[in-house]
A and B are shown apart, each in its own frame.
Chain A
């Protein structure tokens, strides 16, 4: 089977909300509809050309439970001839949907597909629908707290004592500052799809910016925050991503199809890899995943001109940077800030990273290779290497 080139044509997202915030009265699937519909309108492709829709959610229940790829497709106005599915790999759901749709394209089974992610953590807090197998604990397959992401971040601090709270807080402040600068520079204009939502009084509002960012964050302010995961801990609400609502979607195509349709490919998929690590230090996951993806691509870390890494926790980004010998303020790592500022609606974030990546590619024609990577619950990492299509 000959592989075919797969390109990312467009990646969009709703502004992210805080749980209980702007989207408290908005359905999760309606957030997904907003981004899928926007992809179709922006690219003006014939919806019937879409051959598959994979949408991720971590909590596939309630308004995230109706085979999202299919139900959101129908709700977005895709013809009923377009199939769809739901997919889950926790935080890397949208990234997994992307590699899945890309694989369908690469193997020649489809030419055009949509990947996406939906997560309304206000309605579906992480773990709310878990029924964890007791063997995990009885047989000590994992530590009792391996499913508490904040605790795994504390574990990472324990494992690598050089990753101090001081460094984590400094990283968090930088994320907020970079996000504020990116807003000012219009870096998110192309990716944000305004969403109309009703407030607690029933009044419609237009949500066109992320709700979570705190551009006025300071080291002093962060120092005062409590450490909810353990006494005298290091992980705070300030150096971690929040509990958020949002949706993302990406349009992927065979490269020749994009050109036939007159669409501009933004990034070509080079390689991807998923990897597992000890669940107790799930934040370590991007390191083996990226190592494997680089090997598949025949590239080294120094070949990457931009790295978009999900900031579930500052400590997990620092572990990655230290491992690969990158400076913790490296300008090509999360140039527009990250999840600590804009938020992390679990299964959606992979495509947010791609949206930032293609923005960077667009603004930096010299950039050739880029990485999107993230840690994943229960001890995994996910990485995709992309090439700028110039």
Chain B
């Protein structure tokens, strides 16, 4: 049964100044704490409908709609207890939204949305039904993220937005932004696009919005809208289709359906447009992509914030001084993360004064890059860099209570670092490795206190990648583990706990993918087929892009590490060895395979890209089943979460396991579904 947190539409009347008469003012408010945004479920829609009943019968000269501070509406509640679990059929969901919202646009009086905060999805569509939209200077973000989730804006957005701001803007808001890491509109962009008609200061926004509405009603303000030319549509739609093909290889239906709706909005009537949205929404609501997307959405928004496997009732150790052993790019990025987010002093140690000086330069360069991108003020950069000291003396780490190593990925090197470290730091100091795949238990061998050793695997680029794998080694105690999770949270990273098995989660599956694919290349698969093997999955990068990003050397090293543990499943391909031997990137600037690399492949096989995709899917299903048997993670959702935020795998695949279930790969390979909690 539904346990909807109902967003009420509270209706009040007020007197416009100057004898203009009464205005009706609706406030959306779910009565919850400020962090929980207003949403629409069956109860919320019914509350709005009841308010509109009353407005229709009133003498109000205008309807104004606003909300509790900073949250206009985040649209349909897609979480547990939301509209998807309300017992409504997909068609009822589509039609109830339309039936309610369209009444705003069909009132005999003008309507104004006073957007004082987030307005996305259905929350943005309700504003599109209004005659005018005004944003608070502290308002936003605005957007229609539906296609990001495998949906289409089906409560009027796909029809109304292109007719309001033109097809080019609509394609950007409805398709391009959602498929670009779900980018949202800030207030100035919304104004420039014509999505909002005016921006008013946040200080007295609702009062100013009422005054603005008054001035529109009296004609003191006229709202100019850019006329939309018929000739704009074809190029805008073509641009959108090219964008979708480039981004997802049309692996998922929703973006294309949204473009179809935008295209047809030019000539459709309201009734036709809304009916088409109903049909499209119903089509989306039944798809496995949507179920997978909602699963992924909930993983990120809810479960991702509460990691699984944190020891309960264990007080984390306070962390006040950090040490970093190593001064390479990864070590420098990690040091900068600690300084800029945790704002703690960081002591770095390199093997020589010469290398230390190079590291100082690297730190300075990282800070300069942030300043040049406009993310940091120069003074901010100085604050962070001044927290970082670099020396060639391991003894400088003596006072640290957390030391992480990011030296060369060689077990013996890391063991040596750990043993020498133990002579320098206190017995309570956490000793952490950023290894991307080596045995952490082995690193702790011979240590007096291996219980304070733990893995924290950051991803490159460290500042942007939200995932950190937290790895419990054989002797890791609960306090150490709890401290690692607490520290990850303070760094605003999402932590996934994994066992001390090679490659942990993300690298293990990425390497399995590359190993299978390049093995097929060794057997004659064409490079073209290998390149397009992941098209139908909509992965953000194909195998060669991934290889060039990681670097051939690193990939080969990782592959060998995996092969040592699992020789049958991670064979090192001749192709990969050849690429590393060439010492060059596989792709040129235009994304074509360079001739030297092409020459490494016989390309004699008639197997297609789709054959290769099936082989990759089967390998992934097998690997996931083995990982679950090995208890690498608590459950399959943690694998999906890690692949979504650690490798950018699509929402529409639900990471990966829902997709493997949906197309039957799991049953075929493993004999069962993974059954992630969709």
On whether the two chains bind one another, the answer is: yes
Binding site for B on A (CB under 8 A): 30, 33-34, 37-38, 75-77, 194-196, 198-199, 201-206, 208
* Chain A residues with CB below 8 A from B68, complex form: 198, 202
Q: Which of B11, B17, B31, B206 contacts A196 (CB 8 A)?
A: B206
The distance from the CB of B341 to the nearest CB of chain A, in whole angstroms, is 27
Write out the residue numbers on chain A whose beta carbons fall within 8 Å of the beta carbon of B10.
201-203
Q: A194-B17, A194-B210, A199-B12 are in contact. Are A205 and B203 (CB under 8 A)?
A: no
Contact check, A204 vs B203: say whether CB atoms are below 8 A apart: no
- Does B15 belong to the interface (CB within 8 Å)? yes
Chain A residue nearest to B67 in the complex (CB): A204
Q: B194-208: contact bitstring with A at CB < 8 Å (1 yes, 0 no)?
A: 000000010111110
Q: Is the CB of B207 within 8 A of A194?
A: yes
> Min CB distance, B55 to chain A, in Å?
14
> Quick one: which of A33, A194, A199, A208 contacts B203, CB cutoff 8 A?
A33
Among B11, B14, B23, find the residue whose CB has the most chain A CB atoms closer than 10 A.
B14
Residues of A within 8 A of B15 (CB): 206, 208
- Measured CA separation A252–B68 after assembly (Å): 36
Say yes or no for B177: interface residue by CB 8 A criterion.
no
CB contact under 8 A between A206 and B201, given known A194-B17, A198-B27: no
Q: Which residue of B lies closest to A194 (CB)?
A: B207
Q: Report B46-72 CB contacts with A as 1/0, cut-off 8 Å.
A: 000000000000000000001010000
B29 near A203 with CB under 8 A, answer yes
Q: Could you tell me if A202 and B210 are in contact, using CB atoms closer than 8 angstroms? A: no
- A202 engages B27 (CB within 8 Å): yes
Residues in chain B near residue A208, CB distance under 8 A:
14-15, 17
Asked if residues A203 and B203 are in contact (CB atoms below 8 Å), the reply is no
- The chain B residue with its CB closest to the CB of A72 is B203
Q: A195–B203 contact, CB under 8 A?
A: no
With A and B bound together, what is the CA distance between A206 and B211 in angstroms? 10
B201 near A205: Cβ-Cβ < 8 Å:
no
Q: Which residues of A contact B27 (CB under 8 A)?
A: 198, 202-204
Known: A201-B10, A205-B14. A196 touches B210 (CB 8 A): yes
Q: Is B25 an interface residue (CB 8 A)?
A: yes
**Interface residues in B494-551 (C-beta closer than 8 Å to A):** none
Cα(A34)–Cα(B201), bound, Å: 11
- Please judge, given known A-B contacts A194-B210, A204-B27, whether A33 and B204 are in contact too, CB under 8 Å: yes
| C-alpha gap A77/B25 in the complex (Å) | 26
A198: B residues at CB distance < 8 A: 27, 68
In the A-B complex, list the 3 residue pairs whose CB atoms are closest, starting with the nearest: A196-B206, A203-B10, A206-B14
- Given the complex, which residues of A lie within 8 Å of B25, measured CB to CB? 203-206
Which of A30, A75, A208 is most buried by chain B, counting CB atoms within 10 A of its CB? A208
A204-B25, A208-B17 known; A77+B66 contact, CB < 8 A = no
Question: In the complex the two chains form, what is the Cα distance from A76 to B15 in whole Å?
Answer: 25
- Name A206's contact: one of B8, B11, B210 (CB within 8 Å): B210
> From residue A191, how far is it (CB to closest CB) to chain B in Å?
13
Chain B residue nearest to A36 in the complex (CB): B203
Inter-chain CA distance A37–B207, complex, in Å, is: 12
Identify the closest chain B residue to A38 (Cβ): B204
| 28 A-B contact pairs sorted by A residue (CB < 8 Å) | A30-B203, A33-B203, A33-B204, A34-B204, A37-B203, A38-B204, A75-B203, A77-B203, A194-B17, A194-B207, A194-B210, A194-B211, A196-B205, A196-B206, A196-B210, A198-B68, A199-B12, A201-B8, A202-B8, A203-B10, A203-B25, A204-B12, A204-B206, A205-B12, A205-B25, A206-B14, A206-B15, A206-B25
- In the bound assembly, the distance between CA atoms of A208 and B14 in angstroms comes to 9
Given A201-B10, A204-B66: A37 in contact with B206 (beta carbons within 8 A): no
Cα of A195 to Cα of B206 in the assembled complex, Å: 8
In the bound assembly, the distance between CA atoms of A206 and B14 in angstroms comes to: 6
The smallest C-beta distance from B28 to any residue of chain A, in angstroms, reads 9
Question: Which residues of the other chain, A, contact B11 by a CB distance below 8 angstroms?
Answer: 203
Question: Which residues on B sit within 8 Å (CB–CB) of A203?
Answer: 10-12, 25, 27, 29
* B207 with A34: CB separation less than 8 A: yes
C-alpha spacing A77/B204, complex, angstroms: 11
Of A37, A194, A201, the residue contacting B201 (CB under 8 A) is A37
| Contact status B204-A37, CB under 8 Å | yes
B239 → A minimal CB distance (Å) = 39
Residue with the greatest number of chain A CB neighbours at <10 A, chosen from B17, B23, B207:
B207
- Neighbouring B residues of A37 by C-beta, 8 Å: 201, 203-204
A72 to chain B, nearest CB (A): 10
Shortest C-beta distance, B130 to chain A (Å), equals 16
Residue among B8, B201, B207 making CB contact with A195, cutoff 8 Å = B207
Chain A residues positioned under 8 Å from B205 (CB to CB): 196
Distance, CA A24 to CA B25, complexed state (A): 19
Residue of B nearest to A202 (CB): B29
| B residues in contact with A38, CB < 8 Å | 204
Q: Closest B-chain residue to A193, C-beta based?
A: B207
Chain A contacts of B29 at CB under 8 A?
A: 201-203
Give the distance in Å from the alpha carbon of A199 to the alpha carbon of B27 in the complex.
11
A204 to B31, CA, bound (A): 13
* Shortest Cβ gap from A219 to chain B (Å): 31
- Chain A residues with Cβ below 8 Å from B14 are 205-206, 208
Which residue of chain B has its CB nearest to the CB of A34? Answer: B204
**Chain A residue at minimum C-beta to C-beta distance from B15:** A208
Which chain B residues border A199 with CB–CB below 8 Å?
12
Complex formed: what's the CA distance from A14 to B459 in Å? Answer: 55
Q: Which residues of chain B are near A201, meaning CB under 8 Å?
A: 8, 10, 29
Residues 1-44 of B contacting A (Cβ, < 8 Å):
8, 10-12, 14-15, 17, 23, 25, 27, 29, 31
Which residues of the other chain, B, contact A30 by a CB distance below 8 angstroms?
Answer: 203
Min Cβ gap A158→B in Å is: 45
CA of A76 to CA of B157, assembled, Å = 35
CB-based contact A206/B203 at 8 Å: no
Considering the chains assembled together, what is the distance between the CA atoms of A208 and B207 in angstroms? 10
The complex places the Cα of A37 from the Cα of B200 at a distance, in Å, of 12
Rounded to whole Å, the gap between the CB of B212 and the closest CB of chain A is 12
Render B205-227 as a binary contact track against A, CB cut-off 8 A, 1 for contact.
11100110000000000000000
For residue B206, which residues in chain A have a CB less than 8 angstroms away from its CB?
196, 204, 206
Docked complex Cα distance between A194 and B214 (Å)? 13
Shortest Cβ distance from A189 into B: residue: B17
In the bound complex, what is the Cα–Cα distance between A28 and B12 (angstroms)? 23
Which partner residue on chain A sits nearest B9 by CB separation? A203
Give complex CA distance A206, B18 in Å: 14
Using a CB-CB cutoff of 8 Å, which residues 310-339 of chain B contact chain A? none
Given contact pairs A30-B203, A205-B12, a sample of 19 additional A-B residue pairs in the complex whose CB atoms are under 8 Å apart: A37-B203, A37-B204, A76-B203, A194-B17, A194-B210, A194-B211, A196-B204, A196-B207, A196-B210, A198-B68, A199-B12, A201-B8, A201-B10, A202-B8, A202-B27, A202-B31, A204-B12, A204-B206, A205-B14
For B203, the chain A residues whose CB sits under 8 A away are 30, 33-34, 37, 75-77
Q: Mark B391-407, 1 if CB is under 8 A from A, else 0.
A: 00000000000000000
Cβ–Cβ contact A77 & B201, under 8 A? yes
Q: Which residues of A contact B8 (CB under 8 A)?
A: 201-202
Question: Least Cβ distance of A248 to chain B in Å?
Answer: 16
Instruction: Give the complex CA separation of A76 and B137 in angstroms.
Output: 13
Give the one of A30, A33, A37, A196 with max B CB within 10 A: A196
Which interface residue of A30, A198, A199 has the most chain B CB atoms within 10 A? A198
Chain B neighbourhood of A33, CB < 8 A: 203-204
Q: How far is the CA of A201 from the CA of B29 in the complex (A)?
A: 9
The chain A residue with its CB closest to the CB of B16 is A206
- Tell me the smallest distance from the CB of A114 to a CB of chain B, in Å: 15
* A75 to B204 Cα, complex, angstroms: 10
Report the separation of the CA atoms of residues A317 and B211 in the bound assembly, to the nearest whole angstrom. Answer: 38
Q: Which residues of B contact A195 (CB under 8 A)?
A: 204, 207
A196→B25 CA distance, assembly (Å): 11
Of listed B11, B23, B25, residue having the most chain A CB within 10 A: B25
B541 → chain A closest CB, angstroms: 46
CB distance from A31 to the nearest CB of B (A): 10
Give the distance in Å from the alpha carbon of A76 to the alpha carbon of B203 in the complex.
6
Instruction: Give CA–CA (A208, B29) in the complex, Å.
Output: 23
Residues in B neighbouring A76, C-beta threshold 8 A: 203
